[in-house]
Amino acid sequence: MKIEPGSRLLFIGDSVTDCDRARPVGAGSHAALGHGYVAVVDSALAAGDVSPAIRISNMGISGNTIRDLSSRWDTDVLALRPDWLSVMIGINDVWRQFDGVDASAAVMPDEFERVYDRLISRTLPRLKGLVILSPYYVQAARTDPLRSRMDEYGAIAKRIAGRHGAIFVDVQAALDKALASTDYAAIAGDRVHPTPLGHRLLAGALLGAIGFIVRWRKNPAV
């Protein structure tokens, strides 16, 4: 596995990461990590008997865009001094372009890439490793306007990962594979917020990318 036992692994992102994690810092117990993919990753690593344990923190906040991450990066990432960092952002940056609520909250591609790249450039020298996950939309039709736009942001995330030597997790590709045999509602009823199965798919994609062999029990609890 690429993440060394005993490392501090911090997750940051939006509601998909947040999942009711503890405040101010989602750390210190499994329950503090929320009920989403971060908790699934923690459970898988615990079941794999990684020793000493990887210490996980969840700093996701619902509704966040890359602008929001930038505004809290010093306190919620740098001050916590993780060894490894996992970032998944972009869904709200795109969603605000389509929801008709507040167009000013939308983050256009050039700003998204510029801010994202600046954050990673600042942080990478302090890390042992970095994982970047693509944003996604649970829609198989790539011509769907929101899906097409989300793919643009996924490509930006992949480009940033490549530029900085990070591990890239193509979440959209993993979900597309599942969509070939599973109805979207079983993965995310609103096409964004995952069900337990959806969170397991996210966690599986991430764990595979870091070289952890996943052996799911039948109907594992999240």
| 35 among known catalytic residues | no
The per-residue pLDDT for 149 is 98
Q: What is the pLDDT of residues 80-90, one digit of tens each?
A: 999 999 999 99
In which region does residue 28 sit, left (phi positive, over 0), alpha (psi from -120 to 50) or beta (all else)? left
Active-site residue, from 15, 62, 70, 148:
15
The per-residue pLDDT for 86 is 98
- Ranges of the chain whose pLDDT falls below 50: 219-222
d(CA 130, CA 11): 10
The per-residue pLDDT for 217 is 57
Determine what percent of the chain is predicted with pLDDT higher than 70: 96
| 15 among known catalytic residues | yes
The per-residue pLDDT for 97 is 95
The per-residue pLDDT for 49 is 84
| 193 among known catalytic residues | yes
| CATH number for the domain whose boundaries are 8-209 | 3.40.50.1110
Active-site residue, from 68, 86, 193, 199:
193
Q: What is the pLDDT of residues 157-166, one digit of tens each?
A: 999 999 999 9
H, E, C per residue of 124-183: HHHCCEEEEECCCCCCCCCCCHHHHHHHHHHHHHHHHHHHHCCEEECHHHHHHHHHCCCC
* Structural contact between residues 179 and 199, judged by C-beta atoms closer than 8 angstroms: no
**Amino acid identity at 20:** D
* Structural contact between residues 129 and 167, judged by C-beta atoms closer than 8 angstroms: yes
| Of 214, 184, 198, residue with least CA distance to 19 | 198
